[in-house]
DNA sequence: TTTTTAGTTCTGCAAGTGGAGAACTAAAAA
DNA sequence: TTTTTAGTTCTCCACTTGCAGAACTAAAAA
């Protein structure tokens, strides 16, 4: 199912995704579904390709489904589910991530409001950071929205 | 040293920074140094303001120093160190973060190279994502570099 | 020389995470 | 009705994290 090189890539891309917050098993599953040539894999194919237990496979799959990073389809007359990478969701999730940064800037605004004017240099640093953040968030969202408009 | 509102903010900004990868204690220390009116605090002031043990305080401070998120100064004739938030480093560390994303795009390039042409739709999704990522990274670095050139 | 200061490092524990394997379940097939 | 399929959930354990408190250390003060 995988070439030797692809097996290596599943691991190394897996590590990168671990660093991005996925658990080892979820990272491997997502990595596998990105790398494998087949357009979708069954539960057991995933389990066997990664040498995972059923519980680890089940939990990893359900976690990735909850994040909307993978999806599944069924085939007529079969009960099995076939999982695939929802890579095309990247715009949606990037956008969500950037919007989430507004929590950070709102927090900084609160902090600015509640600092004395004793140390104006630092107050100005906070304001500058926040101005940039707000600018950066809206620019990033523009970049996403204007990317190959479809 | 802190108003009641500021104490609250230390906690809530602390939580946000925990979500960004800092340990609870490091997050509180960094939060405190961002919120407190004094321009710098000693080891014991930090320890007492946050009700931390000496070890937790020491480890949190040294971790933040290693990340370059805080710094310290000394006062003539005193051995104590006074710690402050290095908020002005944000440009440097944002830039480093974005440059780090090139590892991700390099990985995706490797993946593309090692997939068959069986599923061109997915191959094109990978290419599209990577094109965007490369564009986004370079644009972001431009935004940082051009921000209020000083 | 002894004591104090300003921390650092070590020891031990409580809590959380991640995954294996077994037990379980609901629907479909035999 | 029994068995198989396609998972899910439960139990247990190994490993990691984060912190407190105690022991330690090196420089400075007394």
Predicted confidence (pLDDT) per residue in B75-117, tens digit:
999 999 999 999 999 999 999 999 999 999 999 999 999 999 9
Query: Is A103's Cβ below 8 Å from some Cβ in B?
Result: yes
Contact A9 B114 (CB under 8 A): yes
Instruction: Flag residues of chain A having pLDDT under 50.
Output: none
Min Cα separation B119/chain A (Å): 7
Buried b (16+ CB within 10 A) or exposed e, A52-75: beeebbebbbebbeeeebbbbeee
Cα dist from B102 to A33, B132, B135, whole Å: 21, 12, 11
Token code pair at residue B139: 């644009």
Contact B132 A126 (CB under 8 A): no
Nearest-angstrom CA–CA distance, A54 and B108: 28
Last-in-domain residue among B85, B112, B138? B85
pLDDT of residue B145: 96
pLDDT of residue B125: 97
Question: Chain B neighbours among A 24-43 (CB < 8 Å)?
Answer: 34-35, 37-39
State what percent of residues in chain A have pLDDT above 70.
99
> Are residues B66 and B98 part of one domain?
no
Q: What sign has the CA pseudo-torsion A118, A122, A124, A130?
A: negative
- Grouping H, G, I as helix, E, B as strand and the rest as coil, residue A21 is coil
> Are residues A81 and A8 part of one domain?
yes
pLDDT of residue B150: 56
Query: Is A4's Cβ below 8 Å from some Cβ in B?
Result: no
> Are residues B116 and B61 part of one domain?
no
Task: Name the residue among B35, B119, B147 with its Cβ closest to that of A37.
Answer: B119
pLDDT of residue B72: 98
> Are residues A133 and A77 part of one domain?
no
Which chain A residue is nearest to residue B108, measuring alpha carbons? A13
**Cβ pairs A/B, distance under 8 A:** 88
Q: What is the pLDDT of residues B122-147, one digit of tens each?
A: 999 999 999 999 999 999 999 999 99
> Are residues B76 and B101 part of one domain?
no
Number of domains in chain B: 2
Mean pLDDT value across chain B: 97
> Are residues B55 and B39 part of one domain?
yes
> Are residues A65 and A9 part of one domain?
yes
Domain of residue B28, CATH code: 1.10.10.10
Task: Name the residue among B104, B126, B143 with its Cβ closest to that of A16.
Answer: B104
Contact A52, A60 (CB under 8 A): yes
> Are residues B76 and B35 part of one domain?
yes
A110 contacts on B by Cβ (under 8 Å): 9
> Are residues A94 and A74 part of one domain?
no
> Are residues A108 and A40 part of one domain?
no
Tell me which DSSP letter residue A39 carries: S
Min Cα separation B52/chain A (Å): 22
Tell me which DSSP letter residue A59 carries: H
Provide the residue range defining the domain that includes A140.
90-146
Distance, CA of A13 to C1' of C24, in Å = 35
> Are residues B79 and B11 part of one domain?
yes
Nearest-angstrom CA–CA distance, A97 and A118: 35
Last-in-domain residue among A85, A105, A128? A85
Last-in-domain residue among A69, A85, A101? A85
> Are residues A50 and A120 part of one domain?
no
Cα dist from A91 to A70, A142, B76, B121, whole Å: 14, 11, 54, 17
A3 contacts on B by Cβ (under 8 Å): 114
């Amino acid at each position: 199912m995988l070439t030797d090189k692809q097996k290596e890539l599943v691991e190394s891309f897996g590590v990168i995704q671990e660093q991005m917050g996925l658990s080892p098993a979820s990272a491997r599953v997502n990595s596998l579904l990105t790398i494998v040539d087949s357009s979708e894999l069954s539960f057991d194919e995933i389990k066997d390709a990664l040498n995972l237990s059923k519980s680890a496979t089940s939990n990893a799959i359900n976690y990735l489904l909850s994040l909307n990073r993978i999806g599944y389809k069924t085939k007529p007359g079969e009960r099995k589910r076939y999982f695939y990478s929802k890579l095309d969701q990247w715009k949606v999730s990037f956008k969500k991530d950037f919007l989430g940064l507004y929590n950070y800037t709102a927090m900084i605004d609160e902090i600015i409001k509640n600092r004395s004017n004793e140390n104006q240099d630092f107050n100005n640093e906070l304001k500058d950071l926040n101005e940039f953040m707000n600018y950066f968030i809206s620019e990033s969202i523009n970049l996403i929205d204007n990317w190959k408009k479809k």
